[in-house]
Structure 1
């Protein structure tokens, strides 16, 4: 034994002459560091020096007794460090401060936080697992993960993070590495590990590469037994050692030696690598010339403890070349054993000083020479920062991988031709995924207790999305398909076009004996909410497909494979900071909207903000009505959008006709409708009509003439039951004479014009243009706008006469009518003139939710392009979004409202002059700004129960919210 350690001492002196030029533990002020290290070391007793070698495990959730045990180890045995496991951040910070206060030499604090502190602590943010990160091509993102992980650790007083895992996982059934590895390709693993290391160490937290010499091809759990690596030395050198070489040359701070049996490197049978002199000293220190700290794996694992009690295993680990003895079985016995070996000459002073001074160097480098207690104020907030959530969102976007895409089914296009079903498999929740899918298309969840029933139900669908959802609680959860699920999956794929999306590690696909009948396969890696959201967005082309497989999964799918495609310019959903907005500042919108509800300006509100194609704020407030039992406003509730109909229905159809060359802004009314040839309106142009500059009356109360002397619907014009003559449904059990619609058109044609040209807002152009459009196509406006726009846009909540398609529970009432229909207006258009047109007006009648309105506004913002389809030419949008009569004090564009020219107008006064939108009588508002790429939608039913008091407008709620949106811009 003495001979071995004399050789060891000679070896340490020899290798110090030929080691890498940069010691990763040296600080920038190396002379000051050396003085601090020497001063501490020279004033320590032997027992204190040996105590520095030990790092014990502590928990912040096990109470006072446990804390006392650790405190005694600090005061009685002078341990050098603590590895924290499990608990919560506030308690960890508290007891960390207690432990540091009790320690004569500041403690080196470590954590096993491979993908974030949440692995060990509650209430902290998690980044994706390494397997997920392995699918990302952009390694700068991985470095950013390391940086932000380092910042978390530093904030919590943690100096060492036991990451990255550099194991090259070549064994799919590896029970302990799996999701913790970046994958099977040595170059990808190396580059990812290096990036993570650089990020962490750049943030001032020391990295730890594990598990040396390589844990990637084990099939047993090292926590329960001693796994074996049975490759020859050549293979281990070329694969397992590969990442270590690169990281060591780039300044790696520390390495953890694995609990493995490696016969090719250690000749003693069943001898753990963590106790092996050939592996640690001859290979890691000599061959690879590593100068940083060397940690054992946990010394309390089975296999290590079998090599002696009473501290023998600790002595063996130190003799093998380790510097830090991690989680020993018995600190007192370990220290005693090493002290005995020192006193008997087995361990030299040089050997002890070598490790202890390295530990002290590390302490200096992380700032423990100037130790300060952890500040607990705002600690939880600092560990759950918006930038961490933002980064995680980006990571999942870049990781999700399409590995099969037959006939380019993905991203899904031509929504008008798709009938889509979602089938959930697995034992975990997939509701977030399903809800996100529904933002893009009409998707139904289909299930059944037996396979035949399910196949029958799916027969009406031409696209089936199967989501396989397993628990995301930790990386070791079960990820496999059950035998029943495989049978069902094959049968569904045999009968339907299937998109299979697995929210588990890609090894689940190894269970598939064939993928012939699957049109598309997506690997989403984890079943987190953000993974589910981003995967749905990828399916519909709202975000591009970028990821690559980190491992091979059979059926011809190899590491590095991945089908890439660009986005289709559909709205996606994410965090404000992604597009230069502040989440914190946007919270002010909550207050204003809630104030409007609380003050009974409107029963409820849907509020949405998008920027640069990303919906960053989408919230609901209040209820459908003021009834205490009323439904809370939900995402898929639909509102009567009133005059937004003008730009959501009539205007797009006119733009389309302009593109076809059928009309232009100089088209005269007599050209559009020949019956106007002899009227006083024959020379009115489309430009003037839609700019509200055509001398048309603002409003004609058509319904007045249909009331009797008691101001109720006159039986001459109305019936309670429909028949051939009375078929225009204006409300529940109220049907108007069909021929009265012709009377409305004649009244408009015969009415006088105003005396002079000036800006006067009028609905009448939209009655006239509805007639023109329907005559041109020989089809009703509601059918036309569905066929031409809504279905292909995926605006599935947008419709006229919603009572035909939707449950009354999803339709928000607009008024309790006591002047015309004498009932609650619920599911029927509020506007009387539109109601008299069977609910289908060119100026009113559309019902929608905020998300659908945003799609149409985004279509305008993107100059007529959305979802991979061009609806109209960019120059057409520009033409309609122009104020032609601004010099005459008329702010209006063609159909669109525009910002005010003076102090009073439809906006906050803080939007660009290129912006455009419209408002509606029921309290609705939609606005788009090309300069800032902002879409803002506000839906309300301020007319409920009565329309006469417009508190919403008087309080400037909609424009105040608009102002706050612009104040939230931070780029």
Structure 2
């Protein structure tokens, strides 16, 4: 390389140095740094405290005096904001560690956005990600900078972060080899000692490097650690160790990228210094390419290394070889071209890009982790709940903002309330049974005890002994170790760090407006790593279990359904043996592309309600021996006595062989009739069927009378909503509860389902949470959103038994997963295995061969089949009119959920059925499972 041949020995040595620089100092400091760089022609700089504009201006000036363009680096693990003001700060890696595998793509996106920010200010090298496995709660320096204690998750998440930056055009750097996670000493202050065998290190600390090196990382940083099992020399330091760097990292692992030391000014290595330049010389001899932040002045270090070359301590060929590696690397990254001056005109906007904010907000949202919930959340009773905030003023402001959509009593006090404040809190909270306490914004450092005050902890526990308390912890999960016990606290949510968004998401989670999908990335005294109460079990791997080609075909097909106006939006979930294969949302609420459908969007699941609600309740009562399948329905419903409906058996209702007519259009008899429908609520008109539309209270009894005296047909299969209207009434009669209360008590609440509800607008949800259904031009004369689409169910309080349930794909999947697993969900039994088997198996009745008890059990054959040919014989599930379906296939371990609002804006024509997209997507998933 011509550049090398023209360089002096001093310049070659200088290319191996990256020196400290800051953009917050005086102009005199700036001039000194510019002169230093121009004089010595160092290889790079590392920026610390500053601001984007100041740094960009200074970068332009130092690049202008460099013959070989500089490495412009930063220690920006959560983006440039780790060092610079006035830009978006991304979450710490422990927060990323809480993300489930299905949301790990956000880490890649974060890497891309961090790269954009770096490029905007002229940075070309970011010392991230940290791939240390933090399994020591007392670690004073890594801690929340790590993805956690699970080696596979650390490896997978580190790969995504690294690749995101690389694809964004920025050099990344894995650190701190060979692993800094299990230490109790800060290497800035002393030398950490790791007393582990090589076998133990291979199993944990070294694991990420072994698996990431094949991905060709650009750079690896070596930490300052004493590990006798890797280098038995007395007081050996890994950053100066030939056995660790050259023999292990280079030779054994085959790493060919650049190797850089951790900062050589740190006391962990400086305490080994015998003379100026000593540790820099040792690092080069150990096999390092780049010396980060030398411990002595630049000129002194260069001269010390030059002297070592001259006296034969360091072969000059070594300097030439290392310098050539650096220059060739710079060339491969386009860094030898004269850099264009940074344009500062729109710099602040670039550092606060809306897309970066979106990624940031979604990471914070999906990281929220529910580690405990003893049936306190989601909150429902407005009159018994109070909110307490213990923290700084900025936490108070954020809490008030988060609660603005809710109308609850709230109280704001200092993070360490005085005795007087504590008494004020006791008095203010005395009328309330439940208290949600937001606590934290705490320090992330173990050495400072995470800023947890023991008196405050004792006070929180005092409140928990007297009331139902939910704790929102806005900080490092290790801080919970300072709580002697969490037994009295009913619910615990961890948000990992305080931002207004994390607090807002946590508050929404308390009300069930968003699911807690995070998993604890580290173990605490109270909860093991991996704890997380979530609606469905997630596939915890680095890639989808479905081949990429299948995923791409699914994506294309489901998007085409939107383009062809088959449905405005949909969510599809596929699970294999309880692990998520595919879970994606497409489209918007309507075709005007305003409200985006997400995996948390609630859908009106129409007749799937028959299985996910009514049949579920019937199964529970059957399990409890409250009725027999051969019992006549008239035994439980007095209004049927004396009619030909009284002797219909419960089994006949469940299999649609009762002889009841398919449908009675009750709504057509009353639409537009003020005798039955009014615009305003009143004591006699209190059943809300839509916005500004209330039904007369006694009309449901009129409908019951109509059913009782309708014409009864022959006992053969005919699908009828009326069967499930009667079953719903039976459930309420036997249980003594509304069907909604019965289901919440026995299934939805203990299962942790927070977005499953009848009449969602009555339970704290907003229209923005719920996909609309039809533009009803005849009956309700409005877009139906948040109210059940089915007219009969709407007139029966929104929960007639045949339709009315709203839920997400994930939570519907959780219900079916429980049934799929023989009545068990997350270790708790809800139904007996015998009852599940009986109801989900084809139940021959009056010649019908395709119905279980409540469930549809179709045959997978023929061109008219609604399930794939590869489906097993035991498949069961149900379809819904609004564009929904769920199928469970025990033979193949497959669960499939498809939710859409295909009825928007009109029910007909039914393009979804005509296109067979639900079936085709299902078939593709089976194809993806074929070996």
Q: Secondary structure at the match of 1:857?
A: helix
**Higher mean displacement: 592-601 or 182-191:** 182-191
**Deviation, structure 1 residue 938:** 0.8
**Deviation, structure 1 residue 880:** 1.7
**Deviation, structure 1 residue 645:** 2.1
Q: Which of 290, 300, 315 does residue 352 from structure 1 map onto?
A: 315
Asked whether the 8 Å contact 2:12–2:319 carries over to 1, the reply is no
Tell me whether 1:54 sits opposite 2:49 in the alignment. Answer: no
Q: Which of 143, 167, 174 does residue 131 from structure 1 map onto?
A: 143
1:581 & 1:133 partners in 2: Cα distance?
A: 32
Tell me whether 1:790 sits opposite 2:748 in the alignment. Answer: yes
**Structure 2 equivalent of residue 650 of structure 1:** 614
Tell me whether 1:619 sits opposite 2:589 in the alignment. Answer: no
Q: 1:99-131: CA deviations, max 9, x gaps? A: 9xx99xxx9999788969989986358645743
| TM superposition score normalised by structure 2 | 0.64
Tell me whether 1:882 sits opposite 2:841 in the alignment. Answer: yes
Tell me whether 1:315 sits opposite 2:333 in the alignment. Answer: no
| 1:188-207 matches, cutoff 5 A | 194-199=206-211, 201=213, 203=215, 207=220
Alpha carbons of structure 1 residues 576 and 131: separation in structure 2 relative to 1, 3 Å = closer
Alpha carbons of structure 1 residues 292 and 858: separation in structure 2 relative to 1, 3 Å = same
Tell me whether 1:936 sits opposite 2:897 in the alignment. Answer: yes
| 1:414-813 matches, cutoff 5 A | 414-415=375-376, 448=411, 456=428, 460=432, 462=434, 464=436, 466=438, 468-469=440-441, 492=460, 494-496=462-464, 547-548=522-523, 563=528, 570-571=535-536, 580-581=545-546, 586=551, 601=566, 604-611=568-575, 612-614=578-580, 617-619=583-585, 621-623=587-589, 638-667=602-631, 669=633, 685-703=649-667, 706=669, 713=673, 715=675, 732=692, 734-736=694-696, 738=698, 741=701, 744-745=704-705, 747-748=707-708, 751-754=711-714, 757=716, 759-802=717-760, 804-806=762-764, 809-810=767-768
Alpha carbons of structure 1 residues 256 and 280: separation in structure 2 relative to 1, 3 Å = same
**Unmatched segments (≥5 aa) in structure 2:** 24-35, 84-110, 116-127, 132-141, 251-258, 338-358, 415-420
Q: Secondary structure at the match of 1:784?
A: helix
Asked whether the 8 Å contact 1:625–1:813 carries over to 2, the reply is no
Q: Which of 259, 264, 268 does residue 258 from structure 1 map onto?
A: 264
1:509 & 1:719 partners in 2: Cα distance?
A: 54
Q: Which has the larger radius of gyration?
A: 1
Asked whether the 8 Å contact 1:863–1:872 carries over to 2, the reply is yes
**Unmatched segments (≥5 aa) in structure 1:** 1-38, 63-72, 215-234, 267-271, 322-341, 377-388, 402-408, 550-556
**Deviation, structure 1 residue 348:** 3.5
**Deviation, structure 1 residue 747:** 3.8
**Deviation, structure 1 residue 571:** 1.9
**Deviation, structure 1 residue 353:** 3.5
Tell me whether 1:247 sits opposite 2:244 in the alignment. Answer: yes
2:506 & 2:681 partners in 1: Cα distance?
A: 49
Asked whether the 8 Å contact 2:177–2:220 carries over to 1, the reply is yes
Q: Secondary structure at the match of 1:919?
A: strand
1:903 & 1:775 partners in 2: Cα distance?
A: 43
**Deviation, structure 1 residue 789:** 2.8
Q: 1:311-331: CA deviations, max 9, x gaps? A: 444112454x6xxxxxxxxxx
Q: Which of 818, 821, 824 does residue 865 from structure 1 map onto?
A: 824
Q: 1:229-253: CA deviations, max 9, x gaps? A: xxxxxx9956967996983663567
**Deviation, structure 1 residue 258:** 2.2
Tell me whether 1:275 sits opposite 2:276 in the alignment. Answer: yes
Asked whether the 8 Å contact 2:373–2:492 carries over to 1, the reply is no
Q: 1:693-732: CA deviations, max 9, x gaps? A: 444322233455x45xxx75484x6778888887766565
**Structure 1 equivalent of residue 850 of structure 2:** 891
**Deviation, structure 1 residue 889:** 7.2
Asked whether the 8 Å contact 1:721–1:734 carries over to 2, the reply is yes
2:574 & 2:498 partners in 1: Cα distance?
A: 26
Q: Which of 291, 294, 298 does residue 293 from structure 2 map onto?
A: 298
Asked whether the 8 Å contact 1:257–1:274 carries over to 2, the reply is no
**Deviation, structure 1 residue 654:** 0.9
Q: Which of 833, 840, 859 does residue 799 from structure 2 map onto?
A: 840
2:2 & 2:624 partners in 1: Cα distance?
A: 85
Q: Secondary structure at the match of 1:411?
A: strand
**Deviation, structure 1 residue 896:** 1.8
Q: 1:551-582: CA deviations, max 9, x gaps? A: xxxxxx8xxx9746866674256889655146
Asked whether the 8 Å contact 2:472–2:506 carries over to 1, the reply is no
Alpha carbons of structure 1 residues 771 and 480: separation in structure 2 relative to 1, 3 Å = closer
Asked whether the 8 Å contact 2:388–2:412 carries over to 1, the reply is no
Alpha carbons of structure 1 residues 463 and 236: separation in structure 2 relative to 1, 3 Å = farther
2:814 & 2:322 partners in 1: Cα distance?
A: 59
1:874 & 1:492 partners in 2: Cα distance?
A: 42
1:290 & 1:886 partners in 2: Cα distance?
A: 84
**Deviation, structure 1 residue 651:** 0.3
**Deviation, structure 1 residue 51:** 2.4
**Deviation, structure 1 residue 872:** 0.7
**Structure 2 equivalent of residue 20 of structure 1:** none
**Deviation, structure 1 residue 845:** 3.0
Asked whether the 8 Å contact 1:493–1:518 carries over to 2, the reply is yes
**Structure 2 equivalent of residue 856 of structure 1:** 815
Q: Secondary structure at the match of 1:792?
A: coil
Asked whether the 8 Å contact 2:602–2:807 carries over to 1, the reply is yes
Asked whether the 8 Å contact 1:493–1:517 carries over to 2, the reply is no
Tell me whether 1:210 sits opposite 2:223 in the alignment. Answer: yes
2:539 & 2:818 partners in 1: Cα distance?
A: 19
Asked whether the 8 Å contact 2:19–2:44 carries over to 1, the reply is yes
Alpha carbons of structure 1 residues 894 and 545: separation in structure 2 relative to 1, 3 Å = same
**Deviation, structure 1 residue 842:** 1.7
Q: Secondary structure at the match of 2:222?
A: strand
**Structure 1 equivalent of residue 344 of structure 2:** none
1:803 & 1:265 partners in 2: Cα distance?
A: 65
**Deviation, structure 1 residue 761:** 1.5
Alpha carbons of structure 1 residues 513 and 746: separation in structure 2 relative to 1, 3 Å = closer
Alpha carbons of structure 1 residues 854 and 141: separation in structure 2 relative to 1, 3 Å = closer
Asked whether the 8 Å contact 1:430–1:532 carries over to 2, the reply is no
Alpha carbons of structure 1 residues 585 and 112: separation in structure 2 relative to 1, 3 Å = farther
Q: Which of 861, 882, 886 does residue 922 from structure 1 map onto?
A: 882
Alpha carbons of structure 1 residues 962 and 422: separation in structure 2 relative to 1, 3 Å = farther
**Deviation, structure 1 residue 363:** 8.3
**Deviation, structure 1 residue 870:** 1.9
2:301 & 2:240 partners in 1: Cα distance?
A: 29
Q: 1:911-959: CA deviations, max 9, x gaps? A: 5544433222333434444435434141426154x54443443344544
**Deviation, structure 1 residue 80:** 11
**For the aligned residues, what is the CA RMSD?**
6.6
Q: Which of 177, 182, 197 does residue 164 from structure 1 map onto?
A: 177
**Structure 2 equivalent of residue 223 of structure 1:** none
2:591 & 2:867 partners in 1: Cα distance?
A: 27
**Higher mean displacement: 804-813 or 837-846:** 804-813
Alpha carbons of structure 1 residues 491 and 955: separation in structure 2 relative to 1, 3 Å = same
